[in-house]
Amino acid sequence: MRQIVSDNVQHETIADRFLSQLGNAYLCLPEACYARHLPRPIAQAQLLYFNPALAQELKLDANLCTRDDLTQIFCGNLLPKQAEPIALAYAGHQFGYFNPRMGDGRALLIGTLQDQWGQLRDLQLKGSGPNPFSKRGDGLAALGPVLREAIVSEAMQALGVPTTRTLAAVATNQTVYREQPLPGAILTRVAHSHIRIGTFEYCAAHGGEAMLKAYLDYAITRHDPDLIGVEQPALAFLSRVIERQAKLIAHWMAIGFIHGVMNTDNMAVSGQTIDYGPCAFLDVYSHDKCFSSIDEQGRYAYGNQPQIGLWNLTRLAQALLSVINVDGEKAIEQARAALSQFQPLYERAWLQHMRLKLGLSNEQDGDGQLVADFLSALEKHKLDFTLSFRDLAAMAVTQTIPATYRPLQDWCDHWRARLNNQTQKPEESAMMMRNANPRFIPRNHRIEQAIAAAVTHNDYSLFHTLMDVLSKPYEDQPDWAAYAAPPNAEECVLMTFCGT
C-alpha cells in the first residue's frame, strides 16, 4: 500500500479494498507513451460530489467507505498498493496548428478497471498537480470548470450521448491562480479510454512505426477487439473511428451541443465526448453560433462541427498512413476511401435523429428538406432550439398552434401532412418525440448560476439541483419548469471560457 499523506492504517485497508481490482492496462505500451507520476497530496480536501450509480457500474462498493475515505481517495491522497498512476503523452492540432508535445499536463491516469459489462474503463484525476507534461502550467483545475464538466458530462450521459463520466469531484481548498485567484478542485473522470486522435499524431511524430503499431494494437484490443487478426487492422480501425465520430457529432447536432474546442487532442477514438472546456448548448437556434472566448474565427462554431470532425479524422488517417499500407500510394488511396464514408455516415445518423425528433416513423424523400426548413424558421424567428422541438410533440396531437409558433404555420401544415402520411398514430408520434426531444438541457446560464453560488458563497444547492433535474431530461418534471426555460435578457451567457 502506498501512503501519500495520512498514516491512518484504516485508510490503507479501505483504498486497497475499494479499488482492489485497479490495474493499469497502459503499462504494456512503450515507456515513451507516458510518464509515471504521483498525485500531489492535498491537506484539506472536501468531497463535493460522488456518483453512486457510476460507482456501481464500475463494481466499486461505496458502502465500504465513509465520506472521508472517499474524499481521501478522490483527491489522490490514498491509492491502493498496486496503483501505478501515469500521465499520458499526446500531440494535437490546436486550432489547425500542430503541437507535437502536449500530454496530460493537469491529469493523472490512476489506473484501469473492468466495469460490470467486462469493459475496461480509465480512472483519471483531473487537477491533481504538476507532472512532466505540465510545461509552465500548474497542473491544477479551478472549481468552476470542474463543476461545469461534472454537470455537462452527466447531463450528456442522461441525454444518451456517448461521453466520459464524472465519478467524483473534490474541493482542494487551495488557491489556483488564473486571471484571478480561484478555489481549486479535482474531478475524477471515467472514460472508455483516453486515447485521442492526438495520441496517434504523437506516435507518428516521435515513435515511428513501432510505437504506432503498439498503440494501434492497444486501441484495437480496447475498442474493437473483433478487428484483431484482420488483414489491414489500421485501415479497419480508422473506419471504426470515422463511424463513431460521425455518429457522435450527429448526436451533438441533434441536441444543440457545441463542443467548443474540437482540437485533435480533444477527440477520443472511443467515440465518447471528451474534454468539456468552453462547451455550450444552443438556446436560440443559430447555425453559426460560437460561445468560446478563445475561438475568435468561429472555427468550432455549431454548424462547423461535422466538417471539423472530418478534418480531425483526416489528421488521424495521416498519422496512421505508414501502418495502413507499406505502399505509400495505396495507403493514401485507402485512407481517402475510408474518409469518404464520413459524410454519408454523418448524414444518415443526423437524419435518423431528426426523424425521431419530428415524429417520423418511416423514411420519405423530402424529410431532409422538412428538417432544414424547420431549422431555418427557428433561426429566422429566433426560437429556442430545445423547446421548439419539445413543443412540437404536443402539436402532433392537436390542430392548434401556440402563439409562439404562429410564424411557423406553413411549415406546421407541411409537417402535419407528412405525419398523416405514415401509419403511426399521432399519439405514438408524440411519444416518440418526447423521448427524442429533451425538456431539460444544461443551459449555459444555469451552469453559470450554479458555479457562481459555489465559488462565491460556498453554496452547492444549485449544483446538486441541476445534477438532479438533468438526470431526467426527457421527463416533464413540472416542479422544475424554471430549469427548462431559456435565459431572459440579463441571464443570457454570451461567452464561455476554457478551464485552463
Q: Does 184 bind ligand AMP (CB under 6 A)?
A: no
CB of 91: closest distance to Mg ion in angstroms? 12
CB of 275: closest distance to ligand AMP in angstroms? 5
Quote the CA–CA distance of 69 and 75 in Å, as a whole number: 10
Which CB atom, from 129 or from 271, has the smaller least distance to ligand AMP? 129
Partner that binds at residue 498, options Mg ion, ligand AMP, none, CB closer than 5 to 8 Å by kind: ligand AMP
Quote the CA–CA distance of 91 and 260 in Å, as a whole number: 19
Which of 70, 79, 102, 248 lies at the binding interface for ligand AMP (CB under 6 A)? 102
Q: Does 295 bind ligand AMP (CB under 6 A)?
A: no
| CA dist 483 → 278, 279, 455 (Å) | 21, 19, 20
Q: Does 266 bind Mg ion (CB under 5 A)?
A: yes
Per the listing, cell 408520434 goes with: 429
What interhelical angle do 305-324 and 208-223 show, nearest 10? 120
Contact between 254 and 354 under an 8 Å Cβ cutoff? The reply is: yes
Build a one-symbol-per-residue string for 112-151: x at contacts with ligand AMP by CB under 6 A, - elsewhere.
----------------------x--xxxx-----------
- Give CA angle at 291 (191, 164), nearest 5°: 5
CB of 266: closest distance to Mg ion in angstroms? 4
Which CB atom, from 1 or from 38, has the smaller least distance to ligand AMP? 38
DSSP H helical ranges for 9-51 = 9-18
Quote the CA–CA distance of 311 and 96 in Å, as a whole number: 9
Quote the CA–CA distance of 435 and 416 in Å, as a whole number: 19
CB of 263: closest distance to Mg ion in angstroms? 7
Which of 57, 69, 224, 275 lies at the binding interface for Mg ion (CB under 5 A)? 275
Q: Does 12 bind Mg ion (CB under 5 A)?
A: no
Which among 5-13, 204-212, 258-266, 290-298 is the span making contact with Mg ion, rule CB under 5 A? 258-266
Partner that binds at residue 105, options ligand AMP, Mg ion, none, CB closer than 5 to 8 Å by kind: ligand AMP
Quote the CA–CA distance of 308 and 302 in Å, as a whole number: 10
State yes or no: is 327 an active-site residue. Answer: no
Contact between 271 and 241 under an 8 Å Cβ cutoff? The reply is: yes
* DSSP labels, 454-489: HHHH---HHHHHHHHHTTSTTS--GGGHHHHSPP-T
Please pick, among 224, 265, 275, 391, the residue that the annotation labels catalytic.
265
Q: Which amino acid is at 322?
A: S
- Chain mean position to CA 30: 27
Q: Does 498 bind ligand AMP (CB under 6 A)?
A: yes
Which CB atom, from 40 or from 194, has the smaller least distance to Mg ion? 194
Which among 5-13, 96-104, 154-162, 296-304 is the span making contact with ligand AMP, rule CB under 6 A? 96-104
Instruction: Give first-to-last CA distance, the chain, whole Å.
Output: 33
Q: Does 205 bind ligand AMP (CB under 6 A)?
A: no
CB of 259: closest distance to ligand AMP in angstroms? 11
Q: Does 306 bind ligand AMP (CB under 6 A)?
A: no
CB of 189: closest distance to ligand AMP in angstroms? 12
Contact between 321 and 328 under an 8 Å Cβ cutoff? The reply is: yes
Task: Please give the residue ranges that form the binding site for ligand AMP (CB under 6 A).
Answer: 102-106, 134, 137-140, 261, 265-266, 275, 277, 498, 500
Task: Please give the residue ranges that form the binding site for Mg ion (CB under 5 A).
Answer: 266, 275
By annotation, the residues acting in catalysis are 265
